Structure 1
Amino acid sequence: MNPVKCRSIVLQGSIQATRILQVCGFKHYPPPIKYDHVEFPERPRLKFVDRQPQLPPNIKAPKMQKKLRLMRGPEHIHNFLLHKQYGIMALGGGRLKWGHFEMLRLTIGRKMDKDRMFAIWRVDNPWFPVTKKGQGQRMGGGKGAIDHYVTPVKAGKIILELGGKCEFLEVKDFLTDCANKLPFKAVAVSQEMLDKQKADEKWREENNQNPYTMKYLIQNNMGGCQRWISPLDFKYFCKYV
């Protein structure tokens, strides 16, 4: 081989190796997230919740039945994030007492940075009366007196929202801690998690190759299942307890 040509090849190889070493020293960082679209409410912290509803003085507090239907099935209205950021979502039905509201308000108010974060309620104040009889009373004698008030919650309902100039990793720990203290299963969610969940459900429905779904089994009375399943299962096909 021509020595001049060989020398040029060696020089080109050394130049390329030098360029590789120079490039390896640099790191590529993505641009910071912009929060120009975030709208802050007038009050950044969670509002205080009354222990019982305020009724006019000439109206006696009414007593109600159990109405378990208020806790069964999915939530159809408050099942999305208004500010498209973060929140706590219920995974099952239950009742929120006034103590749970105070726990959420005090914990989140202490953990979050009020200068760049905010939190809002997505559930009503305690309005549903729960009656209870005194200790040692016999059965009968009519319905007991109102003991406290609760807020019924369905599966998929957003309990509260938290947003602002922050990322999900900053708020995930204390949101999860608050969700674990609720009387029903709940989880800290972000808008990306909700979008992914909806996309996964849609993909499973479109690509399901097993024709024997729970809906098919119940509607066709496979194995005589209609004799023992709950009336709620006819409506939601065993998806909600």
Structure 2
Amino acid sequence: MNLYTSTKFIIGLLRPEATQIVLSKGIKYFPPPKNYDDIEIPERPRLRVYDKVPLYPSNLKPPKMQKRLRYMRGPELLHNTLQLKQYGVLATGGGRLRHEHFEMARLQVARRLDMKRMFAIWRVDPPWQPITKKGQGQRMGGGKGAIDHYVTPVKAGRIIFEVGGKCEYAEVYDMLRIVAERLPFKAEPVSQEIMEKKAKEEKWREENNKNKYTLKYIIQNNMGGSHRHISPFDHKWYGKYL
């Protein structure tokens, strides 16, 4: 009996509750590894390079646009699930993506992606909405300013990009977390299991809620004259999305 073994044995004698842990033996059964035979790695595993400015015909002047905040307000109803059923970055709030954010995500994924086993795809469009800005020191009036840059509006629940391949969630978590923390809106790394768990928990809370006076019930019944104080968007989403 060496010094390390004797020390563990003495600790087990002094702490009876630790005796079972120290002296227990047996055959360990581990689950079999996942089968990735159905996954095919594409020829271009990295994220595409998006243009900074959308391409217009030579005879067409780039159009200007109003703010249109409705493009990033409320829930995403279409691109809110993982197509690859593996991993990705989920936007939990609305905002706008500039070209710098696309490049940040692309470079971070390119540095940490194992191209022999993994690949990534975009789930958002390249910058297309024009944002105008006037020069420094100009007076009010004089019409709308010139186009300064282009953005991509994003709603809450939108998948920004996905990562797939022959890999585990723990391998890509740091990469997804770094990108999510540097986006201009709230975002988080997710997997298919996490999204299914979230949907199940939300459904369980709605079905087992014993307090009937929810915000939806209060707004629908105009309790306390709430219609005079709330936003028109609260009639649609009942305080979920600001």
Tell me, yes or no, if the aligned pair for 1:70 and 1:154 is still in contact at 8 Å. yes
**What does residue range 51-70 of structure 1 map to in structure 2 within 5 Å?**
51-70=52-71
**2:128 is aligned with 1:101:** no
Structure-1 residue corresponding to 2:78? 77
Contact (CA 8 Å) 1:96, 1:153: kept in 2 or not? Answer: yes
- Distance in 1, matches of 2:203 and 2:144, equals 47
Runs of 4+ in 1 over 4 A off after TM superposition: none
Superposed, which structure 2 residues align to 1:226-237 within 5 Å? 226-237=227-238
Identity of counterpart residues, as a percentage? 64
Unaligned runs of 5+ in 1: 1-22
Cα separation, 2, equivalents of 1:99 and 1:157: 19
TM-score by length of structure 2 reads 0.88
**Which residue of the partner structure matches residue 7 of structure 1?**
none
Structure 1 residue matching 2:101: 3-state secondary structure? helix
> Is the 8 Å Cα contact of residues 129 and 146 (structure 1) preserved in structure 2?
yes
Displacement after TM superposition at 1:55 (Å)? 0.3
The alignment yields a C-alpha RMSD, in angstroms, of 1.0
Aligned to 1:171: 172
5+ long unaligned stretches in structure 2: 1-23
Q: Structure 1 residue 37: deviation in Å? A: 2.6
Q: CA deviation at 1:42?
A: 3.1
Match of 1:15 in 2: none
Q: Which moved more, 1:198-207 or 1:57-66?
A: 198-207
The answer for the alignment partner of 2:40 in structure 1 is: 39
Which range is displaced more, 120-129 or 196-205? 196-205
Is the contact made by 1:38 and 1:83 (CA closer than 8 Å) also made in structure 2?
A: no
What residue is the counterpart of 1:214 in the other structure?
A: 215
Q: Which amino acid aligns with 1:116?
A: R
The equivalent of 1:123 in structure 2 is: 124
Q: Which residue of 2 aligns with 1:132?
A: 133
Contact 1:52–1:149 under 8 Å retained in 2: yes
Q: Partner letter of residue 218 of structure 1? A: I
Give me the whole-angstrom Cα distance separating, in 2, the residues matched to 1:123 and 1:210.
39
Instruction: State the Cα deviation string for residues 82-114 of structure 1 (Å, max 9, x = none).
Output: 000000000000000000000000010101111
Shift of 1:26: 2.4
Per-residue CA distance 1:11-39 (angstroms, 9 max, x = gap): xxxxxxxxxxxx92422222111112323
What letter matches 1:79 in structure 2? N
Aligned length: 219
Q: Does 1:190 align with 2:191?
A: yes
Q: Tell me the equivalent position of 2:29.
A: 28
Q: Which moved more, 1:63-72 or 1:35-44?
A: 35-44
Distance 1:196 1:29 in 2: 23
Kindly provide the amino acid, as one letter, of the partner of residue 170 in structure 2.
Answer: L
Q: Please give the alpha-carbon distance, in whole angstroms, between the structure 2 residues aligned to 1:47 and 1:160.
A: 11
The amino acid that maps onto 1:211 is K
Query: Equivalents in 1 of 2:92, 2:207: separation in Å?
Result: 24
